[in-house]
Amino acid sequence: MTIKPLIILPDPVLRQVSTPIETIDADIRRLADDMLETMYDAPGIGLAAIQIGVAKRMLVLDVSKEGDDKTPLVFINPEIVASSDERSIYEEGCLSIPDYYAEVERPAAITVKHLDRDGKEQMIEADGLLATCLQHEIDHLNGVLFIDHISKLKRDMVIRKFTKAAKTRGAKAI
């Protein structure tokens, strides 16, 4: 397993829409392992493939509590097929937007259809942190960032801050 470098705002790669995975093979499973290793190293609780520069519809999660056994989850071609009318608010952060957090309102519960590591279709009903994390990572697969769910004023301030930091590093801007 290899820890991959994270793509950081304002890199335009984060705005790409990821393409479906046609075949689940050893390369895709290795990518999932690399993504989990990268996520744990960061440390984070979710990572979409686009965040390491791979525009494929795959994400990994582990929302287990610190001190509990790890419960890594791999979602290939995830799709939200149902969501509750009830809403919940969580303070979200993102490995691609380090050290910035904001409250985001999303559906409180969702149902997600996806393929697992073995290519078997699965359905998961999620609420709480798992539902929030799944929605956050599926947004990434569609080129959407959690800051797109906050006010334009706050979003513009974050983008300006990260664009300025990127210029200092000599990185690409959106």
Q: Which residues are catalytic?
A: 137
Q: Which of 100, 90, 3 is nearest to 42 (CA)?
A: 3
Find tokens 């539902």 and name the residue: 131
Token couple for 148: 């797109």
For residues 4 and 95, the answer to whether their CB atoms sit within 8 Å is: no
Element at 26 (helix H, strand E): helix 26-41
Find tokens 């582990």 and name the residue: 62
